[in-house]
Amino acid sequence: MAIIAEPSEEHIKAAIHALDNETHLGLSLFQADEQSEREERIVVMGGERVNVAYWPASAEEPAFYLRDNSADTLAQVLINYGDQGELAYPAQETVEQEIALEEILYFMRHRRISAYGAWVPYETT
């Protein structure tokens, strides 16, 4: 595990492309929220397809995730959580690495998630 205080776009690209769902399972990107002095984060888990969740500062759970409406509605993607086992996600709740990368770089550049991207609010039941 590497901790990089201020990752460049190249660091982020390399980290996303290294995800293989076997030995490189995921990554968390933290960014200080200037208003609350807390950190918001994006958590990425998976391999070729990844589950990406946005956690606002001080949140107990994620508020948004990246969604792929073009994915097969019946397909599932297994995400490896290491010692905690695997979790099957509907394919639509995962995206290809390149889509995740585009949205993450937007977040890092603009200090917010894209309003016009593939972010969807988590529904609480």
Where does residue 14 fall: left (phi above 0), alpha (psi -120 to 50 degrees), or beta otherwise?
Answer: alpha
Provide the CB-side half-sphere exposure for 116 (13 A, CA).
0
pLDDT value for 125: 41
Bridge partners, residue 31, by sequence: 40
pLDDT value for 55: 92
Q: What is the pLDDT along the chain (125 residues), one digit of tens a residue?
A: 567 778 899 999 999 999 999 999 999 998 876 776 778 899 999 999 999 999 998 889 999 999 999 999 999 999 999 999 999 999 999 999 999 999 999 998 988 888 877 899 987 54
pLDDT value for 37: 74
Give pTM, 2 decimals. Answer: 0.89
Instruction: Confirm if 101 and 16 have CB atoms less than 8 A apart.
Output: yes
pLDDT value for 98: 96
Q: CA 55 to CA 78: how far, in whole Å?
A: 22
| Residue tagged 């639509």 (tokens) | 92
pLDDT value for 1: 59
